[in-house]
Amino acid sequence: MSGTEPLAQSYAFQAEVSELLQLMVRSVYSETDIFVRELISNASDACDKLRYEAISSPELLGDAGQLLIQIKPDTAANSLAIADTGIGMDRQELIDKLGTIARSGTRAFIDRLREAKEGASLIGQFGVGFYSAFMVADRIEVISRRAGTRDAWIWRSSGGGGFDIAPAPAERAAAIMRGTEVVLHLKEDAKRYLEKQEIERIVRTYSDHILFPIQLVTGDGAPRQINEASALWQRAKSEIKPEEYKKAYQMLAGAFDAPALTLHYKAEGRFSYAVLLFAPSSRPFDLFGPERRGHIKLYVRRVYITDEAELLPPYLRFVRGVIDSEDLPLNISREMLQNNAQLAQIRKAVSGRVLTELASLANNDAVAFAKLWEAFGAVLKEGIYEDPERREQLLSLSRFATTKDANLRSLQDYVAAMQPGQSAIYYLVGDSIDRLKSNPKLEAARAREIEVLLLTDAIDAFWTASSLSFAGKPLQSLSQGDVDFGESALAKNADGALAPAAVDTEVTIAAIKGVLG
């Protein structure tokens, strides 16, 4: 492959990348369209990064023209190119970004990908979408010139164990003043991706609201823009159709499902900002990753700044979306964001609004909220432990298995159904519902027909370690010493006799104590 270019050097892929590529090359996934979305998303990120860096270094823009993305089908060569005029990559960046996966959880991700039928959607969630192109391409070339540098480089791979890098040939380097072009040499069964109608359909479906123009470049006319290129979050809610929200969510989350909750509003007053947030309907792959990283993109006046600012607390890390500030300075550094007072106020306000929307969903659509709780309840309960200010609100949102109901119950429902004289909310923590239901410590509660919460999530052992109350009722564990059930009476049958559970516990225990003295 590099015999005619003596300066080309060969490199081995990181082991996990090589394994991932083998999955892509042999892919049986049905959602092969995703490669277009992922490559366009990467191109958009590159344009975002250049626009951000050009705020402090305007010379980076040079004479290469506007920030845009182009799709170039070539039927004669059976190739499809996706190019951008963004930040570009130098030689070392090509090695690092296309030869390795620098994030934790890679091994678990690949194992799940190997087993998953929805494999392509996992690729988008994990942020390795570039490799999805090997589902449709036998060979890929990446030509890139980093903004502000002289040299252009070409990266080549056939999806095996490695790749080559060389200085780009003069004629190809001359065609790229700045940015990156990804050229896919398509497999025989992927020729439909050269058809204009197919390209336009995919862009409309997945990438319509990318903020940069996406142009279709063919040999029969001038480049033609095929996306809307508008900031959806800056438009009025009344103008936006549900399908547009769904597409925006899928693009932001790298997902195929529909959002379980959509929150779109503009805040005006001391600080002005637009918010477009989504709660997924299924659990993202990295939800319980050690970084507990959020996924909210911060914009300032429609200029992308970062997705690493802590715009929501960790227990809301499943939420995806955008916050676009009108007041933050464009040249704010990512380091300054950590201690920015205005951003702290935005975070506090938006976090409260998200919890309010979740409460509204719980009140108005119990079935939909139950599904959301099944996916993200364990994460939300982290907030009971970590966020004392919103503890009551989070307890109110929480749903629990109990000894009395097959369905999950709220604490409001629990308190409303408390027995006369019952003074506390009782619970047991364990690793399974079945084991908890057979716990002998339940017998005294059953004898009084007292409902007990059955807690089995790993986080339950942490938040219950604090002294908590809800609606004036303390939460009390049945595992901690002798439990005083207050004035709760033992249950009786219709004839006035003690119920069997009461006889089995209170009477038997008293008899044993009498024998033992």
**Under CATH, which number does the domain 9-225 receive?**
3.30.565.10
Considering the segment(s) 232-370 as one domain, its CATH architecture is 2-Layer Sandwich (3.30)
Q: Distance between CA 151 and CA 130 in Å, rounded?
A: 23
Helix extents (H) in 143-234? 170-174, 196-206
Phi first, then psi, for residue 467 (nearest 5°) are: -80, 110
110, amino acid identity: I
Q: Taking the model in full, what pTM does it have?
A: 0.75
pLDDT at 376: 96
452, amino acid identity: V
Our CA angle for 179, 185, 188, nearest 5°, is: 150
Question: Do residues 122 and 109 make contact, with C-beta atoms less than 8 angstroms apart?
Answer: yes
Tens of pLDDT, residue by residue over 103-135, are 656 677 677 666 665 555 566 566 667 888 998
Instruction: Sketch the domain layout of the chain as residue ranges.
Output: 9-225, 232-370, 399-503
Question: CB neighbours of 255 closer than 8 A, spacing ≥ 6?
Answer: 121, 124, 125, 249, 280, 282, 284
CATH class of 399-503: alpha beta
Question: Do residues 297 and 322 make contact, with C-beta atoms less than 8 angstroms apart?
Answer: yes
Our CA angle for 444, 449, 455, nearest 5°, is: 75
Question: Do residues 478 and 442 make contact, with C-beta atoms less than 8 angstroms apart?
Answer: yes
Q: Distance between CA 509 and CA 119 in Å, rounded?
A: 57
Beta-carbon neighbour count of residue 192 at 10 Å? 13
pLDDT at 106: 67
Structure tokens at 254: 């790298």
User: CA-CA-CA-CA torsion for 206, 250, 345, 264, nearest 10 degrees?
Assistant: 80
pLDDT at 115: 67
* CB environment 4-39: b (16+ within 10 A), e (fewer): ebeeeeebebeeebebbbbbbbebebebbbbbbbbb
Q: Which residue has the tokens 């716990």?
A: 439
Question: Do residues 71 and 216 make contact, with C-beta atoms less than 8 angstroms apart?
Answer: yes
Question: CB neighbours of 340 closer than 8 A, spacing ≥ 6?
Answer: 328, 332
pLDDT at 517: 47
In the chain, DSSP finds a helix count (H) and a strand count (E) of: 19, 20
Q: Residues of the chain whose pLDDT is less than 50?
A: 1-3, 6, 492-494, 497-499, 501-515, 517
Q: Distance between CA 35 and CA 471 in Å, rounded?
A: 51
Phi first, then psi, for residue 456 (nearest 5°) are: -125, 0
- The CB-based long-range contact list for 55-58 (8 Å cut-off, 24+ gap) reads 55/303, 55/330, 55/331, 56/331, 57/148
Q: Distance between CA 381 and CA 391 in Å, rounded?
A: 9
Instruction: Return the DSSP state at 221.
Output: S
pLDDT at 21: 79
DSSP 52-68: HHHHH-GGGGTTS-S--
Furthest-apart CA atoms within the chain: distance in Å: 101
